[in-house]
Amino acid sequence: MDIFSCQIQNTVEPHLSYAAATQERESNSPQDKSIPQTRSVGSHTRYWATGRTLKIAIMRLDDALFDTVKNAINQWAPYVNLTFEFIDLNEDDELYEGDIRIEISPLYNTVARSLIGTDALAAPSYSATMWLGTNSTEATYEAVAIHEFGHALGRLHEHQHPDANIPWDREKVYKALEKNHGMSRATVDATLFPLPRDNNATYAPYDRHSVMHYQVTNDATLGDWEQLTNLQLSEGDIAFARQMYP
């Protein structure tokens, strides 16, 4: 059962996250209803200011890996009103130079993770805000980097959309993830299964082809239902990017 690949990194200081987000972009306030509906789901409180330059610091372990991560991030570039400025770091450089700071290490070859959007502004300046592995020869590596940068733009997981119609075999999934990853039922509920509808979130039709959707294998579901890993941005992903960053 291969369905788990990413962990959203939650900020430990929610009030700092909120303050950073609303200072960055006034419409991040959940009371503001001006954000248009999109074809995906995202938090109202963690989008970057439109038109700004987003500095992205990437640890360069080797040229090919650096270029792979950069090229993955640039898949979002045509669809957002943001300028991506890449900062090339070596092992002796300080991570604080970037708004988004990407640590690349073999420690993250099995589980990548990222802070959501402007939560990066509330993180300590000396720490990373996104974590990627080094296994760039795998066919899905670029898709993982695209997915994680979607989180960095403010996206949440699409398979947790409240209207997701995935026929999960929940008891089987609970047992498999506890055995293979040491995950509790509460953690599985929080990271895998659909979440309740939230008045502070932006919703649109569930998009199973989103790059923000986990792979779901047949052995994790009841009946005949699966979703292979989405390797590229879907039409829904592009619509989201254009709506949130006009």
CB burial of 195-224 (b: ≥16 within 10 Å; e: otherwise) equals beeeeebbbbebbbebbbbbbbeeebbeee
pLDDT in tens, 214-230: 999 999 999 889 999 89
Average of per-residue pLDDT across 7-12: 70
**CA 90 – CA 61 distance, rounded (Å):** 7
* pTM, to two decimals: 0.90
Say yes or no to pLDDT of 73 above 50: yes
pLDDT over threshold 50, residue 134: yes
Instruction: Name the residue with higher pLDDT: 204 or 147.
Output: 147
- Are 202 and 236 within 8 A, CB to CB? no
Domains in the chain, start-ordered, CATH in brackets? Answer: 6-158+232-244 (3.40.390.10)
- In this prediction, residue 191 carries a pLDDT of 87
Write down the pLDDT at residue 230.
93
pLDDT in tens, 85-101: 999 887 666 656 899 99
